[in-house]
Amino acid sequence: MSLIKEPDFGTPARPGEATVAVEIDGTEVLVPEGTSVMRAAAEAGIDIPKLCATDSLEPFGSCRLCLVDIDGRKGTPASCTTPVAPGMKVRTQTEKLAKLRRGVMELYISDHPLDCLTCPANGDCELQDMAGVVGLREVRYGFDGENHLTEPTDSSNPYFDFDASKCISCSRCVRACGEVQGTFALTIEGRGFASKVAAGAGGSFMESDCVSCGACVQACPTSTLQEKSVVELGMPTRSVITTCAYCGVGCSFKAELRGDEVVRMVPYKDGGANEGHSCVKGRFAFGYASHPDRKLKPMLRERITDPWREVEWEEAIGYTARRLLEIQAAHGTGAIGGITSSRCTNEEVYAVQKMVRAAFGNNNVDTCARVCHSPTGYGLKQTYGTSAGTQDFKSVDQADVILLIGANPTDAHPVFGSRMKRRLRAGARLIVADPRRIDLVRSPHVEAAHHLQLAPGTNVALVNALAHVVVTEGLVDREFVNDRCEDFETWERFIAQPQHSPEAVADITGVPAEELRAAARLYATAPNAAIYYGLGVTEHSQGSTMVMGMANLAMATGNIGRQGVGVNPLRGQNNVQGSCDMGSFPHELPGYRHVSDDAVRSVFETLWGRTILAEPGLRIPNMFDSALDGSFRALFVHGEDIAQSDPNTRHVTAALSSLDLLVVQDLFLNETSKFAHVFLPGTSFLEKDGTFTNAERRINRVRPVMAPRTGKHEWEIVCELAQAMGYPMKWDDAAQIMDEIALTTPTFAGVSFARLDRVGSVQWPCNDAAPEGTPIMHVDGFVRGKGRFVETVYVPTEERSTRRFPLILTTGRILSQYNVGAQTRRTGNVAWHPEDVLELHPHDAEVRGIRDGDTVVLASRVGETSLRARIDDRMPVGVVYTTFHHPATGANVVTTENSDWATNCPEYKVTAVQVTLKQPVPAAPGPVR
């Protein structure tokens, strides 16, 4: 397999029909209006030399290599900045142009190190390539005199170097940072010969606002910005297209390798979700896959106090199967169960839930999606008829107003966050509803029209007030509601009641009534208004109610079923959507079909040859409670660290400690494995073969770039365990698993590896009615027929501040770390976030005598932990904030058992706490003299 080289057309494509005919070097080309001469030539297979131009950036016209002759025009215009015109005749190769280009190239080379043979970019350098293209054979100016050859190298970033001596000041890195990423961390400092690229105010990359997305590295045409991995390992020689295993954006990458060693991850321009962009995690934080902490051999122990003993696969699987069967014989079929992972492929998840239902013989299967987006599934199913978001990510490019609720995309979904920022800079208005002042509220280049800084736990009161304004001020889209919805009149009477007015809820939410009214009007009167939301919506006791409230608001204003609108969950992990799609909940088979449905069960029973129980099994919280009362005795945990990620850690660990058998399958020994009897090593995404489904329902191929280092795919291990328990479960490869998914699950009916390899990706539903997938849902009608309005009664959370616990803790994520940190903590990302910290308002810190950097005790009614304080006015008075990426902090020690009324999704976002200065441990008394 060779290195995949993607064509670069020099300038971005322009929308519209190809209606403008031009002649380039005697070849007629038909392109859309506004297309550059350079791109028109490239589309005709005619390459024009270039250095400052690339098709991910707007034309700049500084390098002067792309000059052309145009009949009837004076001079030699730059082809990148010159749009086509009807009847235009262009010549790209003349003696005059060749002389001009060689002269320009001589100037570049006269101030450039002559170290091509030892340069890490040798063979992958556009400057080197263009010197050859223009036929440069000598530099008449010589190499003496003033130059930049002694400029220093900035190696402060853990992933790439900036060698200023090789910089040609083309501005591609600067423009990429602004146009693609939207951070504007880089600039051109100085004028003329003194001009140079600077990070911030002349500081290093690590001191600047750089977020290490890699856009600058990818844009650089020389070795000025170069991955340290390339310098160390050499240029890659082959590529495999795969999908990132971090957040729910689902970015496509070219894994570029040298032999079996990954040299770099390059974002794939044809990736449907990311279109060539990336973040620091997907671009650089892949080193955990080869970290020495990885366990590659199965391990056993009789008691959790015993040391681990490495064994062969046959012994590990045989022991596990025997113990599971013994426990069922002693305590009943329902005494065992499994938890699937949102970090694993659809095929692996499907295999686990099939093992539980067919081999274990029960429905005791649940998923980590329980603790993040299960209210999304419930709420959207009740109102729209399907358990997923309505749009593709590109849809935001058409939004005029964006309502962002309980989400921080620049940290948690950074590639989508960059796309959103581009739309905001183009003129869209933003409403942020969040207790914390996230970066999108106000930064140097983006500012929200409204920041609704609500009190944690009051989301439903807020969305009801927004809807109240829509109804009482005549802002309802009556035509849409009458044609496409039901139960509107009942809901309208409910929402118009005075207790839902902005004035009535101001004391509840803390949001001034006029601010809320203005936000509601802005959303309701926009041509296209979109809602995007995250865990700040779902991880509440009223998470499901809030999802239905947002669905009501979108229907009432007609913002469903076209580009630029919709209700869009930003999923946390790479395959949260897929793990739910695959039947990981105890009450649902794949495709969100209830186990009580006889016809649905019949499909699986016929294929699997086993009876499936019509009664739902245990949810994760029920498993823990039943473990403590002795009725649930064994658990298979697939790729999740529930002892760190689930709430009320003491309760979780007590339950795990009480099990007769805990089986953990993962890459590393984690907090959960401390209570395990069997450890089965897993595979990293670089070894997986399958699919992930991202937050926009996009099914992406995950292709192995190397064989499993453990010797087995995870779905193979699951099959062998099922077989050892007496159930004949077998596939030859992951493609066959997807074929079974397509056979049994209507929304996946048209999905196969062959189709995904052909078209790149599809968004479900993919079936006979939509063979290429469905980017926008509910276009002509809702999945359930008519959209259903649901009354959303605000019920205050039981978790309230008290004299003993006067503050409210809410939690979230940070850009450089991911989930429980098992992956990112084993990469260079620790340079940015080496520990979890507690943000608290200056007032709350002052009254407690806490200074920035002090170690504090964070305590709730269920537990306490210690961490360092960061004084920050991002939080309102009375609210504190932390992340949960480091097990040493164990933030979930303090979160409570409160959960969503419909789905048991934990209420991570509202915990009553106290923060006190940690007193130093007194020194041990010295000897008496």
pLDDT tens, residue by residue, 300-343: 999 999 999 999 999 999 999 999 999 999 999 999 999 999 99
Q: Would you place residue 924 in the very low, low, confident or very high pLDDT band (cuts 50, 70, 90)?
A: low
What pLDDT is stored for residue 929 in this prediction? Answer: 46
Distance of alpha carbon 394 from the chain centroid: 15
CA angle 451, 454, 459 (to 5 degrees): 115
CATH topology of domain 318-372+579-689+707-730: Rossmann fold (3.40.50)
Q: Which CATH number fits domain 18-133: 3.10.20.740, 3.30.465.10, 3.30.930.10, 1.10.357.10?
A: 3.10.20.740
- State which amino acid sits at residue 794: Y
Residue 149: pLDDT band (50, 70, 90) is confident
Question: So what's the architecture of 807-919 in CATH?
Answer: Beta Barrel (2.40)
Average pLDDT, rounded, for the chain: 94
In this predicted structure, what is the pLDDT of residue 203? 83
Mean pLDDT (whole number) for 134-139: 87
- Residue 925, pLDDT score: 62
Q: Delimit the domains of the chain by residue range.
A: 18-133, 153-290, 318-372+579-689+707-730, 381-569, 807-919
142 pLDDT above the threshold of 80:
no
- Calpha distance 197→200 (Å, rounded): 9
Return the half-sphere exposure (C-beta side, CA atoms, 13 A cut-off) of residue 573.
Answer: 27
**Distance between start and end Cα atoms, the chain:** 77
Structure token digits, residue 801: 């501040």
pLDDT of residue 136: 87
CB 537 within 8 A of CB 494: no
The class level of CATH for 381-569 reads: alpha beta
Q: For residue 585, which amino acid is it? A: F
Please compute the mean of the pLDDT values over residues 709-732 and round it to a whole number: 97
> Residue 459's closest CA among 497, 433, 432, 440?
433
SS3 23: strand
**Cα gap 151→168, rounded to integer Å:** 12
Q: Is there a shared CATH topology between the 318-372+579-689+707-730 domain and the 381-569 domain? A: no
pLDDT at 175: 96
Name the pLDDT band for 478 (thresholds 50, 70, 90): very high
Per-residue confidence (pLDDT) for residue 922, from 0 to 100: 66
Q: How far is CA 752 from CA 354, 517, 700, 734, in A?
A: 19, 48, 11, 10
Per-residue pLDDT for 463 more than 80? yes
Q: Which of 105, 33, 39, 95 is nearest to 69 (CA)?
A: 95
**Cis-peptide into 498, omega within 30 deg:** no
Rounded Cα gap, residues 660 and 335, in angstroms: 10
870-919 confidence digits (pLDDT tens): 999 999 999 999 998 888 888 888 988 888 888 888 888 999 999 999 88
Separation between Cα atoms, residue 655 and residue 566, nearest integer Å:
41
Global confidence as pTM: 0.95
Is the pLDDT assigned to residue 927 strictly greater than 70? Answer: no
Name the burial class of residue 137, with classes exposed (0-12), middle (13-18) and buried (19+) by CB atoms within 10 angstroms of its CB.
exposed
Q: Mean per-residue pLDDT for 280-288?
A: 96
Note whether 826 and 287 are within 8 A (CB). yes
Looking at residue 921, its pLDDT comes to 65
pLDDT reported for residue 657: 97
Reference 572, options 736, 408, 381; nearest CA is: 408
Query: For residue 201, is pLDDT > 90?
Result: no
Report the distance separating Cα 421 and Cα 394, nearest Å.
13
Percent share of the chain, pLDDT over 70: 99
Q: Which pLDDT belongs to residue 923?
A: 61
Q: Please tell me the distance from the alpha carbon of residue 440 to that of residue 768, in angstroms, as a whole number.
A: 41
- In this predicted structure, what is the pLDDT of residue 926? 59
CATH of domain 153-290: 3.30.70.20
pLDDT tens per residue across span 241-268:
999 999 999 999 999 999 999 999 999 9
Residue 71 burial (CB < 10 Å; 0-12/13-18/19+)?
A: exposed
Q: For 275, left (φ over 0), alpha (ψ -120 to 50), or beta?
A: left
